[in-house]
A and B are shown apart, each in its own frame.
Chain A
Amino acid sequence: GAVVSQHPSRVICKSGTSVKIECRSLDFQATTMFWYRQFPKQSLMLMATSNEGSKATYEQGVEKDKFLINHASLTLSTLTVTSAHPEDSSFYICSSGLGGAPLETQYFGPGTRLLVL
C-alpha cells in the first residue's frame, strides 16, 4: 500500500517551546492530508485537514494558532505545536488518501509521540 512517513518518531521538549512534525507521502502526491491526535487509551481524534496551497481546516475546539499547519508541497505537510505544554503530550498521526472517486483509501503515518516536560 501507499507509504506515509512522519518525522520525528518521538520528541521530548520543554514547556513553552515549539515542535514541528513532518508528514510525507513517499510514493504519491497528496493534495489533502489529515492530522489526528490520540491520547492514551483513547481513539484517534481528527484535529485538522491540511490542503496543499491553501489554509488548513480545523475541527471544532482545536486552536489554529497553537497547531500551525503548512502544506507547501504535494508530498509534505507540517504540524507545528507552538508554545507546547504538558497537556499537549500525545501521539500525533497524519494520513493521506490514495485513489479517487468513488472513495479514496486513507493511509496513515507511523505517528509521532510528543512528550512535553
Chain B
Amino acid sequence: DAKTTQPTSMDCAEGRAANLPCNHSTISGNEYVYWYRQIHSQGPQYIIHGLKNNETNEMASLIITEDRKSSTLILPHATLRDTAVYYCIVRATNSGGYQKVTFGIGTKLQVIP
C-alpha cells in the first residue's frame, strides 16, 4: 500500500471546519483513500473512503485532488467530541480476500472550546 504523510497535530476551534490534509504522492490507480479516527482509549472508527471522486457522508467530506496525490478530510463543524487521532490510509483493491489496515502515526486533532 502507498505511504501517506500527515501533520503530526492540528488545532481547530469548536464550531469551525476542521481540514485535515494527507499526502499520498505514490498512490496507484487501484488504491482507495480511507480515513479512520481513534478517540482516546477506543478502537478506530471508520469515517469515509474514496477513489477519485469527492465523497460526503454524515460524518465528513473527503476531497481528493485530481491527480489523487493528496486529499483533505473535512469535518464541517468540529465539536469537542471530534478530538482524536485521524488516520489517512491508502489501501489497494483486492481480488476477494480481506486486507489488513496499516496504520501510520496519524494527525492528533485537538478541538478547542
Contact = CB atoms under 8 A, between A and B. Distances in A.
B93 A111 contact: no
Nearest to A92: B43
Interface in B72-95: 87, 91-95
Contacts of A43: 87, 103-106
Given A34-B101, A49-B100, A111 B95 contact: no
B46 A109 contact: no
A30 B17 CA distance: 36
A109 B43 contact: yes
Contact of B98 (A36, A93, A97, A113): A97
A100 B95 CA distance: 9
B103 A107 contact: no
B44 A44 contact: yes
Interface residues of A, number: 30
Interface residues of B, number: 29
A31 B98 CA distance: 9
B113 interface: no
A108 B98 contact: no
B7 to A, nearest CB: 15
Contacts of B32: 102-103
B102 A32 contact: no
A1 B104 CA distance: 23
A65 interface: no
A4 B80 CA distance: 25
A73 interface: no
Interface of B: 30, 32, 34, 36, 38, 41-46, 49, 87, 91-106
What 10 pairs across the A-B complex have the smallest Cβ distances?
Answer: A102-B93, A108-B43, A32-B98, A97-B98, A43-B103, A108-B44, A44-B103, A111-B43, A93-B43, A103-B93
28 contacts: A1-B46, A4-B43, A6-B43, A34-B101, A43-B87, A43-B103, A43-B104, A43-B105, A43-B106, A44-B38, A44-B103, A49-B100, A91-B41, A95-B43, A96-B98, A97-B98, A100-B96, A101-B94, A102-B32, A102-B94, A103-B93, A103-B99, A104-B99, A106-B100, A108-B36, A110-B42, A111-B42, A111-B43
